[in-house]
């Protein structure tokens, strides 16, 4: 009988301890994922979203790119490759009637540099690039949409 009670209380203690451990690890702030070594900035970039911008885009998302096909002619973002100097900005304008995003990396290999989030039709997104490098980006909603910023 005593052995049973002892066993039961040990099981109870083990459960309580493991719950406590699970809870405390859940509450601990997760370490920031370290970006892979890259010539580009090692910290996240803050972009600026502006609604209802009809013109003035350096790069546009044209109509109908929410269906595959634009990648065949490299016209998902126009131009799909833009070259700027360090310290300059790029403004994207969504000229499509669907949501799109400008997100660093590739669909199957995201890079934690920037993410416009879902851009409404005619939203613009502006980012300033301070460090030289080649930055790939894509649309989180349409993985075939890919573009590149080359910062010299």
User: From the annotation, which residues make up the binding site for Cu cation?
Assistant: 100, 139, 142
Site of interaction with Cu ion (CB under 5 A): 100, 139, 141-142, 145
Residue of closest CB approach to Cu ion: 139
Q: Which is nearer to Cu ion, 59 or 145 (CB)?
A: 145
Please tell me the distance from the alpha carbon of residue 61 to that of residue 101, in angstroms, as a whole number: 9
Output the smallest distance, CB 148 to Cu ion, in A.
16
Nearer to Cu ion by Cβ, of 127 and 139: the residue is: 139
Nearer to Cu ion by C-beta: 125 or 142?
Answer: 142
Q: 84: burial class by Cβ within 10 Å (0-12, 13-18, 19+)? A: middle
C-beta of 38: minimal distance to Cu ion in Å? 24
Question: What are the DSSP E strand ranges found in the chain?
Answer: 48-50, 59-61, 81-84, 89-94, 103-106, 109-115, 124-128, 133-138, 146-151
């Amino acid at each position: 009988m005593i052995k049973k009670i002892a066993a039961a209380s040990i099981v109870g203690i083990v459960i309580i301890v493991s719950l406590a451990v699970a809870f405390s690890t859940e509450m601990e702030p997760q370490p920031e994922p370290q970006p892979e070594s890259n010539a580009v900035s090692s910290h996240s970039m803050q972009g600026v979203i502006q609604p209802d911008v009809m013109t003035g885009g350096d790069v546009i998302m044209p109509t109908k790119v929410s269906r595959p096909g634009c990648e065949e002619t490299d016209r998902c973002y126009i131009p799909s490759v833009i070259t700027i100097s360090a310290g300059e900005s790029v403004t994207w304008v969504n000229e499509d009637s669907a949501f799109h995003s400008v997100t660093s990396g590739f669909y199957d290999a995201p890079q934690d540099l920037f993410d416009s989030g879902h851009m409404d039709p005619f939203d613009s997104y502006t980012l300033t690039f301070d460090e030289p490098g080649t930055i790939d980006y894509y649309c989180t909603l349409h993985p075939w949409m890919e573009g590149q910023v080359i910062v010299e």
